[in-house]
Amino acid sequence: MEGYASANDISAVVEADKKHVWHHLIQHKMFETVDPRVIVEGKGLRVWDAKGKEYIDAVSGAVWTVNVGYGRESIANVVRDQLVKMNYFAGVGGSIPGALFAEKLISKMPGMSRVYYSNSGSEANEKVYKMVRQISHNVHGGKKWKILYRERDYHGTTIGALATSGQAERAAQYGPYPDGFVMVPHCLEYRKQWDVENYGERAADAIEEVILREGPDTVGAIVLEPVTAGGGVIVPPKGYWERVQEICKKYNVLLHIDEVVCGVGRTGVWFGYQNYGIKPDFVTMAKGVASGYAAISCTVTTEAVFDLFKANSADPMSYFRDISTFGGCTSGPAAALENMRIIEDENLLDNTLRMGKRTVDNLNALMEKHKVIGDVRGAGLFCGAELVADRKTKEPADEKKVAAVVAECNAQGVIIGMTNRSLPGLNNTLCLSPALIATPDDIDAITGAIDKALTKVFG
Ligand code: PMP
């Protein structure tokens, strides 16, 4: 793409941005020396900035969101038609796209039954926390009110969601937090906490230990990412999920799977938990649900959970007393329905498995050459390479150097990610999550850029 805007237009845009936009996730001081990158156009896996520079986007919109790629006219058309006909009515009623998308979604989630709409991953998770608390009040006489979460997992930015942040640095400056949120250990085998053979089972047993310590009658639910995203692309070890399911059953603890990143195809199946044959009570999703073409998140529950909120219980006011104003926007489910059609019609789940394998194979091949790669992990098109200063001691690579690799890829026109200032001393994993439409050439270009960048930064 050439000459998207004249030099004047660009400087006016950048100036307006620098003057008035408060950017997410960044120390603004840096914009005193560097201009913000303003992305103005996208097509497929590629994006262009206001200066006309082309990039391969290997992280689907920076935070693993644009699953079906940029420039999808069919989504734009469906949303346009829907908006002209009926854009919004509060979610207390229903809408055609809301009903049709819920039906379609549930058809891909055997055992699940009800879809509650809101706008962001954080919000979808908050809904579950509120439901768990209400179940505690209405069903358990105030018991089973605690919610467990896992070290290194992340569930959003609101105070409740941050109370379940397994990433200490993200939560550090926003306390105090509400009571009743308790952390369990992470399950990353590369950074073993127990010297045992069946690591997966052992890591899951650590959850049982926390339940017993807290008292089983105080613990109502546990929230887990199927594959931990920003915490370092952690694919749980064999045996982990089976044991987690057993423990939840044994102590009557509701299982909440946060699919905000893994949901809707990212790992090569519709939902990450479906890789492991587990049966959740709650599933939350956001980013890839409509690939960023509209804001939508979903809190999905079983019919058994839903039944606990029906007004035929002893207290007619025991319904879920919650609303999300923009849960009544029709653009979200309309875009989400078309997004699912694209994934099905273009066989993107199969492509994700094939391209995910290619990514991991390429990264593993780079391990020969680059001793700084300590571990390669992946599930579908969701891959990570952990960089270490020393393979034996596993001392993490210097965070500044990891950031330099990301910057060097960027200079080469490939946008990649890294665990971003959220884990003290462990922001050393490169993250890749290109759109599910990636081709073999795209994957090779992405890992090729990483190869060059590693040579430049680490020699
Ligand atoms: N859960 C997970 C696993 C996430 O990665 C994120 C966002 N990165 C969230 C929840 C929060 O989503 P949102 O930013 O839409 O609130």
- Cβ–ligand 1 contact at 258 (below 6 Å): yes
**pLDDT value for 6:** 53
Measured between its terminal Cα atoms, the distance across the chain in Å is 33
- The model's pTM is 0.96
- Cβ neighbors of 393 (< 8 A, separation 6 or more) are none
For every residue of 88-152, DSSP letters joined together read B--TTS--HHHHHHHHHHHHTSTT--EEEEESSHHHHHHHHHHHHHHHHHHHSTT-S-EEEEETT
Q: What is the pLDDT along the chain (459 residues), one digit of tens a residue?
A: 444 455 557 888 888 888 999 999 888 998 888 888 889 999 999 999 988 899 999 999 999 999 999 999 999 999 999 999 999 999 888 999 999 999 999 999 999 999 999 999 999 999 999 999 999 999 999 999 999 999 999 999 999 999 999 998 899 999 999 999 999 999 999 999 999 999 999 999 999 999 999 999 999 999 999 999 999 999 999 999 999 999 999 999 999 999 999 999 999 999 999 999 999 999 999 999 999 999 999 999 999 999 999 865 667 778 999 999 999 999 999 999 999 999 999 999 999 999 999 999 999 999 999 999 999 999 999 999 999 999 999 999 999 999 999 999 999 999 999 987 677 778 999 999 999 999 999 999 999 999 999 999 998
Task: Measure the CA–CA gap between 151 and 165, rounded to whole angstroms.
Answer: 8
- Cβ–ligand 1 contact at 160 (below 6 Å): no
Q: Which of 16, 6, 454, 67 is nearest to 259 (CA)?
A: 67
- Cβ–ligand 1 contact at 259 (below 6 Å): no
**pLDDT value for 3:** 44
**pLDDT value for 311:** 66
CA–centroid distance, residue 157 to ligand 1 (Å): 8
What domains appear along the chain, each with residue ranges and CATH number?
A: 7-68+347-458 (3.90.1150.10), 74-345 (3.40.640.10)
Q: Which of 64, 433, 109 is nearest to 271 (CA)?
A: 109
Q: Which residue's C-alpha comes closest to atom 12 of ligand 1?
A: 121
**pLDDT value for 425:** 77
CA–centroid distance, residue 121 to ligand 1 (Å): 5
**pLDDT value for 190:** 96
Report CA torsion sign: 108, 111, 114, 115: negative
Pocket mutation for ligand 1, best pick of 266, 287, 289, 291 (most atoms within 8 Å of C-beta): 287
- Interface predicted TM-score (ipTM): 0.99
- Cβ–ligand 1 contact at 64 (below 6 Å): no
- Cβ–ligand 1 contact at 231 (below 6 Å): no
CA–centroid distance, residue 404 to ligand 1 (Å): 25
- Cβ–ligand 1 contact at 155 (below 6 Å): yes
Backbone angles phi, psi at 122, to 5 degrees: -60, -45
Name the token pair of 37.
């990158």
- Cβ–ligand 1 contact at 150 (below 6 Å): no
- Cβ–ligand 1 contact at 288 (below 6 Å): no
